[in-house]
Structure 1
Amino acid sequence: MSFGVVEGDQSPTIAELDGHPFGRLTFTGQRWALADVRLLAPMLPSKIVCVGRNYADHAKEMGGEVPAEPLLFLKPSTTIIGPNDAISLPPQSQQVEHEAELAIVIGLPGARRVDRAEAEKAIFGYSIANDVTARDLQKKDVQFTRAKGFDSFCPFGPWIETELDWRDLEVRCEVNEEVRQLGRTKDMVFDVPTLVSYVSHVMTLLPGDVILTGTPAGVSELNAGDSVTVSIEGLGALTNKVVELV
């Protein structure tokens, strides 16, 4: 298991890194065709900070108001799975739903009490996430920990793009090739530097930590046997199967 850098567009290869991707990159000299490797989640963060109701249309479909400040909650790192891994439906829930989201990945030296300008400098890159949610448990419990915290409830990947303009990207979710969510990042209530700055005034963000920026409208139920794909312009696609937890 190693970090690597994806190189090339037509016949992409992965160049193996010697160590982690933060700071000065050094390579081992090993390279493989992208098709010949198994991609894991590109990072295992110390924490996943999520933002609720950050798209007005999603707030409306959930029956809530747009918050005056970012609405924060956490997912444990054990929710992380990678591309093509299975989302497991827990027996405690009868209504598990997808949430397509742009993910921010924090770089060196991290972020603590930073302003907007410093926040942008603290970003290592961007990826795709699916904030899988047990909606019935979210409504029952009021707070989000159980509904958002089951193992496999944060598909993440397939890689981190370090050069991306986040300001106006299409965010799409398809279930069995049917489009369920379609939005654009320009419609976020609180933008990327605002979120990083706000979170950093609550908790120190460490290198590799992930912030999920909220989801557009269209969340819907997932069932065993489904294939769910979240795609974001400039980042590619993240696909996962849905299975019953056994």
Structure 2
Amino acid sequence: MPEYRRILLDGAVVQVERQDDELVSADGRRVKIDDAQHLPPVVPSKVIAVHLNHRSRVEEFQIDLTPTPTYFHKPTSALNSHKGAIVRPEGCKYLNYEGEVAIVIGRTARNISPEEAGDYIAGYTIGNDYGLHDFRDTDAGSMLRVKGSDTLCPLGPGLVTDWDFRDKYLRTYVNGEVVQDGSTSEMEWDMHYLVADIARTITLYPGDVLLSGTPANSRPVQPGDVVEVEVEGLGRLTNRIVSGPLPVRDDCGAQPTESEEVVSTAFGGDWEFRGVRAPRRG
């Protein structure tokens, strides 16, 4: 399956094709994958994410799945890349990973059927839909700061074409340990349905990205942790968590909170209701 990446090569943004352990540009220059400075593999005009799609995640939260998907928007200023640093602002505690498959649009799409949607998809990449749950109380359901803060949308490492999304495993690792283990087979709505659903009222342009949902066991990570998302046939997206040197400004806006909703969401459900106390990490 062809795989294309975007890297910074000799000071310029270059699209390259993966050939074994090297990345090759159109003019023949080669760079080892481990030596490359990666960029997001696409430049979207928008990033749209589905709230809940994996049945294991729905079961974890002990809630009923909505009859149709619901979505939120991640600003493009949140984009990040393979090997990019994920910044947890000083004073925040609940930064969660969410490993996902990312759909990349290849043709302008509007008012198409699920059966037609595959013709409008360029390929797929990996996303990690990080959530800064410290702001969950203040976002009024929009998820803007929770999911849209700077650096919280890494994509990569590459765009893979001719990939069949059916029955592929999805795993997330923290410091080498498996923490999420899911499959695209447990998705309530597949990639074609999601594209068609959004395109009913929103025009999708080439490069736009749809994040298709995460399996169970999203949990907080700490500065110094290395988080990797591996999807069968798409490779492995790697990022390191770092602490931001500055706290969130306190002279305007709502501040990070540590309410019951924040803590229960960060640790996978209503812990007080279950009689389980959420572990506290610094």
RMSD between superposed Cα atoms in Å: 1.5
Q: What is the match of residue 23 of structure 2?
A: 14
For residues 134-155 of structure 1, the C-alpha deviation after alignment (integer angstroms, 9 at most, x for no partner) is 1242255341111111101011
Q: What is the match of residue 116 of structure 2?
A: 118
SS in 1 for 2:166: helix
Identity %: 37
For residues 8-30 of structure 1, the C-alpha deviation after alignment (integer angstroms, 9 at most, x for no partner) is x3xx33232xxxxxxxxxx3343
Q: What is the match of residue 17 of structure 2?
A: 5
Gaps of 5+ in 1: 17-26
Q: What is the match of residue 40 of structure 2?
A: 41
Offset, 1:202: 2.5
Distance 1:92 1:113 in 2: 44
Which amino acid in structure 2 is aligned with residue 212 of structure 1?
L
Q: Is the Cα–Cα contact under 8 Å of residues 88 and 241 in structure 2 kept in the other structure?
A: yes
Q: What is the match of residue 224 of structure 1?
A: 223
Which amino acid in structure 1 is aligned with residue 127 of structure 2?
A
Offset, 1:123: 0.4
Relative to 1, partners in 2 of residues 1:32 and 1:224: Cα closer, same or farther, differing over 3 Å?
A: closer
Distance 1:75 1:149 in 2: 5
Q: What is the match of residue 100 of structure 2?
A: 101
TM-score normalized with structure 2 length? 0.78
Distance 1:215 1:132 in 2: 11
Q: What is the match of residue 148 of structure 2?
A: 149
Deviating beyond 6 angstroms after TM superposition, the runs of 4 or more aligned structure 1 residues are none
Distance 1:35 1:99 in 2: 24
Distance 1:133 1:120 in 2: 29
Offset, 1:85: 0.9
Q: Is the Cα–Cα contact under 8 Å of residues 90 and 150 in structure 1 kept in the other structure?
A: no
SS in 2 for 1:119: helix
Which amino acid in structure 1 is aligned with residue 99 of structure 2?
A
Relative to 1, partners in 2 of residues 1:127 and 1:73: Cα closer, same or farther, differing over 3 Å?
A: same
TM-score normalized with structure 1 length? 0.89
Q: Is the Cα–Cα contact under 8 Å of residues 126 and 161 in structure 1 kept in the other structure?
A: yes
Distance 2:132 2:29 in 1: 42
Q: What are the residue-to-residue correspondences of 1:25-104 with 2, within 5 Å?
A: 27-91=26-90, 93-104=92-103
Relative to 1, partners in 2 of residues 1:161 and 1:171: Cα closer, same or farther, differing over 3 Å?
A: same
User: Which stretch shows the higher mean deviation, 138-147 or 169-178?
Assistant: 138-147
**Count of aligned pairs:** 232
Larger radius of gyration between Structure 1 and Structure 2: 2
Q: Is the Cα–Cα contact under 8 Å of residues 128 and 237 in structure 1 kept in the other structure?
A: yes
Q: What is the match of residue 265 of structure 2?
A: none
Which amino acid in structure 2 is aligned with residue 177 of structure 1?
G
Q: Is the Cα–Cα contact under 8 Å of residues 56 and 186 in structure 2 kept in the other structure?
A: no
Offset, 1:92: 5.7
Offset, 1:118: 1.9
Q: Is the Cα–Cα contact under 8 Å of residues 171 and 181 in structure 2 kept in the other structure?
A: yes
Which amino acid in structure 1 is aligned with residue 14 of structure 2?
S
SS in 1 for 2:38: coil
